[in-house]
A = this chain, B = another copy of it.
Amino acid sequence: MDFKSWKHVFKLDPAKFIHDDDLARICQSGTDGIIVGGSDDVTAEGVVDLLMRIKKFNIAVVLEVSTVESVTPGYDYFFIPTVLNSTDTKWVKDIHHNAIKEFGDFIEWQQLIAEGYIILNPHCKAAKLTAANTLIDEEDVIAYARMAEHYFKLPILYIEYSGMYGDVHLVAAVKYELEYTQLFYGGGICNAQQAKEMAQFADTVVVGNIIYNDLAEAISTVKAVKDTV
């Protein structure tokens, strides 16, 4: 299934344990796809192991690449973030350049999808790691969205509040700017009501951490999103 039609996806962290039964419920929940990705302790072993377990189900699976070392084949797509509000070229294009320099001969380019990230929770690990400037207002975020759509023509813009539920008015304002670039929202979705709220504006709602805290609530977000769309 093409990621462009995704409304709801679950994001699984390869560094976190998930029981086979729980994974089956996630994969058979009616969600449109699984993103495998995390910031800490992501290893090739974890990434392969989770892939093999997800592959038993008939569902699209994407690796969101955080470290080049953890990349393994077999995924349907590889989502590669470029952090639009980072203050360090490393997270905008340098690690990308290094990875292409090292592995360019082996990359299936049509599987590589550029994700423009805007990281908005100042306290999350991703913001610190990427030296993201999170002290930005709505005008700044809208300008990033326009840059993503019109200048870099990125297929995906990902508003990331990692660990914190975001500003739905901001997500609405960003959606209003986008026509071709697909808007992902991720961060802090803990229940069906929040998933529903973000699904009014985001093209694709990403549900992550709640999987590990309350699986039933996590599963409930699938129907909430599908009913909203």
Query: With the chains together, A100 CA to B84 CA distance in Å?
Result: 13
Task: Provide the bound-state CA to CA distance between A82 and B152, in Å.
Answer: 10
- From B89, B114, B150, give the contact of A152 (CB < 8 A): B114
A146-B100, A146-B104 as given contacts; A80 in contact with B139, CB under 8 Å? no
Chain B residues near A153 (CB-CB < 8 A): 114, 153
- A128-161 residues with Cβ-Cβ distance < 8 A to B are 139-140, 142-144, 146-147, 150-153
* B contact residues around A146 at 8 Å (CB): 100, 104
A84 CB contacts on chain B under 8 angstroms: 93, 97
Asked if A151 and B100 make an inter-chain contact with CB atoms under 8 angstroms apart, the answer reads yes
Q: State the Cβ distance, A31 to closest chain B Cβ, in Å.
A: 27
Provide the bound-state CA to CA distance between A89 and B86, in Å.
Answer: 8
**Which residues does chain B contribute within 8 Å of A150, judged by CB atoms?**
100, 107, 109, 112
For A140, the closest partner residue in chain B by CB is B101
Is A92 at the interface (CB under 8 A from chain B)? Answer: yes
Q: Does A226 contact B (CB under 8 A)?
A: no
Determine if A147 and B93 form an interchain contact, defined as CB atoms under 8 angstroms apart.
Answer: yes
Which residues of chain B have C-beta atoms less than 8 A from A82's C-beta?
A: 152
Known: A89-B87, A89-B89, A92-B89. A151 touches B114 (CB 8 A): yes
- Find out whether the CB atom of B144 lies under 8 angstroms from the CB atom of A104: no
Determine if B152 and A100 form an interchain contact, defined as CB atoms under 8 angstroms apart: no
A217 at the interface (CB under 8 A from B): no
Return 9 A-B CB contacts under 8 Å, by A number: A82-B152, A84-B93, A86-B89, A87-B89, A88-B89, A96-B151, A97-B143, A109-B150, A114-B152
